Structure formats: structure tokens, C-alpha cells
Chain A
Amino acid sequence: MRRSPVALRIAVLCYIGVLIGVPLIFVFQQAFIHGFGAFFRALRDQQMDHAILLTALVALVAVPLNVLFGVGASLWIVRHPSRFTRVLDTIIDVPLAISPIIVGLVLELVYAQGGWFGSLLAKLGWQIMFSFPGIVMASIFVSLPLVSRQVIPLLRELGDHQEQTASTLGASPLRIFFTITLRSITWATAYGVSLTLARVIGEYGAVLIVSGNIALVTQTLTLDIGANFENFNNYQGFVGAVLLAMASIVLLLILGVARHRERKRNEYLA
């Protein structure tokens, strides 16, 4: 029995090594195979730079919207429970259960020209599919529950006694939200933001379909990487992959800090 922890440790390390460690090392090795100079030259690839900019813009729009939605929906579900919010609570998880490809296809069927709303939107002069709004929609869809899944359990655990006490002290609902509720869920929200951001910049399938994958127009970083590999432009692909990997590592570090702070807060339960 005393030996099992060692065996367990080896098993876990092998698992992680084979699945994450080796591929990650391979990607970095490939990206720097021609040295740092070549790597930095590759960063100045026009197509990739456009893709990075587009990905950043999509994240800049999609993440704040999902944070607003996530916090709002969480408050509604936890603080004003009803039959409707119980349904909402379940529906919010649907994006996690559906394959991103299906998400993309469904959005295209509904919003592309010839779709349900497509012709109406075309008459208004709005093109949603194969353009920026479509990419944002797909990104929002696939990362929809990531904030509320962090915030809902915390709100449940906190209860509403702090808010109710504040109201007996004369505070308005808005003041209670900013001074009590928001301060209590800051770190859980930050954790949700990191997850959302990671999902948005890393999304491939749904964005591939709704964007049309047009280089220099609707190609995000993940699509650009994919295109490079398809065109036997492997080196450029690995450079892009390293950028994505580094973004994820930075996010993971932020996540680690957020989780640590959150745990420190939770050591004391009212």
C-alpha cells in the first residue's frame, strides 16, 4: 500500500507528459528550429498579423459581453429562482454539450443569406455570416456558460444575508451590488473571464464555418495556423501555434493566481 502513491505519481506524470508535455515541447522546438532571428521574422507575416488583430478584436467584444451576461444570469438564477430560471440554468450549459462545428452550422443556417433571418438582415444591409459579427456570435456561443459556471456556485454558497443586512442599513440595490455582491464575486468572475478568453482565442470549429476562412479578412489566428499547415507552410504554422500556446500559459498563470486568491477568501466562510 505504501508503494501505490509512487505508482500513482508515475502514472499521472506519464499521462500528462504524453498528452501535454511532449507535444508542447515539439511545437516550441519546431518554432525555434531556425533560431530566434527566423522566429521574429516570421512574426512579421502580414497574414498572421491580421489574424492576431482579428482574434484580439473578437475577444475584446465577446469576452465583456459574456461577462455581463454571465454575472447577470447568475444573479437572476441564484437570487430570484423560479421555474424559468431552473430551465435557464440548464440551457446555459448547452453550448458545452454541442460540438462547435454544429454551432457554426446552425448559426450559418439561420443567419446566412437564404437562412431564416439572413434575407431580412441582407435587406437591412447587415451581413452577419462570413464577417466579424458572425465570428463574435460563434465565440460568444461556445464560451457562454464559462463565467456563470464559476459565479453561480459562489453566489449560492455566499447566501443573501450580506445583501439583506446592507438593505436594512439603508443601501440601495445598486449600491449593494457594487459594494457587496460584486466585491464578493470578483475572483470567481476573473477565473471565468480567463476561461472565456482562452476559449475565444482558441476556438476553431465554429469560427471556421461562420467566418468563411478568408485570409486577411475573416481569418483568426487559429484559422491562420490551420491554413498554414494545409498549405505545407509548416514553419509559419508552428510560430502561430507557439503564440497561442504562450497566450494560454499566461492565462493559466493568471488563473492560478485567481484560484489561489479565491481559495484564501474561502478559507473563512461566514
Chain B
Amino acid sequence: MSISLNGVTKYFGRDLVLDDVTDEVPQGSLTALLGPSGSGKSTLLRIIAGLEPLNEGHIELNGRDVTNVPARDRHIGFCFQDYAPFRQLSVADNVAYGLKVQRMPKAQIRQEVDDLLHLVRLEAFADRYPRQLSGGQRQRMALARALAIKPDVLLLDEPFAALDAQVRGELRGWVRSLQRELGITTILVTHDQAEAMEIADRLVILNEGRIEQVGTPDTMYDKPANDFVQGFLGPITTLNGVAYRPHDIELCAPDEGVAATVTDVIRLGFEVRVVVSDCNGTSSWVQLTHDEAQRLNLIVGEHVSLRVRMGAKKNRGPEIPEVFRIDGDEFTSSSDQEERTPFAKGSQR
């Protein structure tokens, strides 16, 4: 089921938390609402679920206006960040809750609950209580409970935030494949860009209640609409005042790039971060693979030269020069030669 948001605006008292949010979520997609805390992403999710009234705008599910439809009639599955397990009910009764509301016959409820518990791999825990489950198990129970009513849309508020790193990784992959399998239109809220890029096929980036950019993870990483999106989707560092991804900068022969001094080498398994500072004392960093770092065998205080990798994206959007031409020891590009000048100067040292 597709979801359309039309000029959704929300105030908390006098604070504007959502400012004219408009988006079209296609049927069957997995959309991540991504943004820093306080960007209004959770509020938007609650508004879609009908748990929060909005001040202006419309929400449509498959073309049907549900703006004034209460949550209980929207047929939307919702999972809170804390999973909100019904503490007094067993796992099976938690999952059965929505089915009992529908007055489904008892035998059928038992069958449905069994199937759902099998789906989320909690068959063995049917008679346990939520307090006896681990975080990951509680999350799967909450998911089964939401899926029981066969919702048209699934909304997940920070579904992995409360889990430890290993469980989080496993569940991400599992939720993604489950979503593919069921083909259910899903929106999840997260503040973790890596999580969003891994799991979602659409990103909606929110900042201070406004949509900054909408697109696939790839296009947004490569063609961020603005500095905020660029900074939010991945690390950036600067070389002569220009923002780059750290993996787009490489170390080169002394007279081919900007002279700099190594100030720190941080080893993070496969990735190695080399922190450098140039002659002006400006700090930036370069991302190397473990092999590269071993070959170069860098030590703190060593003098190196930096240059932008071939084909790297300098900035955002359409102004990116597609190809950098190496002209002797000078970098030039047709569109912004002036910006390059200090770089060329630096390389002459």
C-alpha cells in the first residue's frame, strides 16, 4: 500500500516540529526516515500511525484520506523503540491481542499465532512472559504482534537502537528479508546512517522538521543535495577547504600533492585512519585499507603528500566535475579552476 504525505505540518506548542513534509512512499518499499535527534522523524511516524494529530496537511493510504481516521481504524502495524510488550500477557497472548480484538474464532487464533511465532522464530517461547525474553526476542515478538493483524503498512520506530551491536546486525538482515518476503510497505525511523543505507531502498533525510533529500542510498551518498546530507550520510574531511569523503583522498609521491604531516594512525581492523595536518595546521584524515597502510608503514611525524583520487566526487549535486585531469603536478577541472588554485600551490612545495 502506498502512503502519501501532503504538506504535513506539526507544532508542539509554539515549536514547529514538522514543516510542510511531502513525500510519496511507493507500495512495497522499505523507506528509512533518517535524521538527527529532534529532526521530527519519530513524530512523523506517529502521525502516519494516527497516534499523534497533525496541524496541517493530509495523509493518504492507497489514495484514501486517513488524516482524521483514528489509529485503531488505520490498520497499520506499529512497533515502538521499547517494543512496548504487554507485560501482563504471555508471548502468545501478546501476538494474539489484535486477533482477539477482531473476534477471530479461538482455533483460528491459535493457528495464526503458531504461524507467526514460527515466522519470528519464537515457537519455543509461546508461554513465556516478556520479562523472560532478551531484547532481540522482545523485538521479534513486537513484530509478530504487529504483523498479526495483516497490516497494510508497517511502521518501526528505531527498531534496533535498544539492541547490542551483534544482535542488531543479525536482526537488520532478518527484518530486511522478512520485509522482502511479505512485500509490506515499511517505514522505519533511525538516526544511524549506516543502518539506513544497509536496510532501506529509499532514504528520506529529515532535519529540523524539513525533508532535506529523498532518494536511493546510492544516489544520496554520491550526489548529496547539500552539506547537511553529505555530512550526515558519511564522514567528510577537507583538503584545502574543499569537502571530500576520506576514502577519496590518497597518499602520493612527495611532489604530486599537498604536503602534510602524519599526526596519528588509528587502526580499526580493515580500515585505517591516517590523521594528517597540512602546512597551515589544518587537520584532515585519509581512509586507507589495512593492506595499503601496511605497505606504506606510516609513522607519526612522517611527511606525506595528499591528492584526490581519480574520479572522486569533490562536492555535491550536478556541479561535480566528472573527471579530474592531471596536468603535470597540477589538478585542474573545467568547472572550478579557481577553487583548485591553492591546491596547485600547495603541490609545488
Footprint of B on A, CB under 8 Å?
A: 159, 161-162, 164-172, 175, 179-180, 183-184, 265, 267-268, 270
Contact = CB atoms under 8 A, between A and B. Distances in A.
Nearest to B83: A270
Contacts, number: 78
Given A165-B78, A167-B51, A184 B97 contact: no
Given A268-B87, A270-B84, A270-B87, A171 B78 contact: no
Interface size class of B (residues with CB under 8 A): 20 to 34
Interface stretch (B68-76, B183-191, B206-214, B248-256): B68-76
Contacts of B75: 170
A255 to B, nearest CB: 21
Contacts of A170: 72-73, 75, 98, 101-102, 149
Given A161-B80, A184-B88, A265-B87, A169 B145 contact: yes
8 contacts: A162-B84, A165-B142, A166-B97, A168-B51, A170-B72, A175-B101, A183-B88, A270-B130
A73 B74 CA distance: 30
Nearest to A166: B97
B87 A167 contact: no
Contacts of A270: 82-85, 87, 130
B84 A165 contact: yes
A165 B80 contact: yes
A161 B84 contact: yes
Given A161-B82, A167-B51, A169-B149, A268 B131 contact: yes
A169 to B, nearest CB: 4
Given A165-B84, A167-B71, A170-B101, A268 B78 contact: no
A121 B345 CA distance: 99
B59 interface: no
Interface in B142-192: 142, 145-146, 148-149
A225 B84 CA distance: 52
A169 B98 contact: yes
A-B pairs with lowest CB-CB distance, top 6: A268-B131, A169-B98, A161-B84, A168-B78, A183-B88, A170-B101
Contacts of B85: 162, 270
B125 interface: no
B260 interface: no
Nearest to A186: B88
B131 A267 contact: yes
B189 to A, nearest CB: 14
Interface string B305-347: 0000000000000000000000000000000000000000000
Contact of A268 (B72, B84, B130, B146): B130
B87 A168 contact: no
A260 to B, nearest CB: 16
A168 B77 contact: yes
B84 A169 contact: no
B157 to A, nearest CB: 10
B72 A171 contact: yes
Contacts of B83: 270
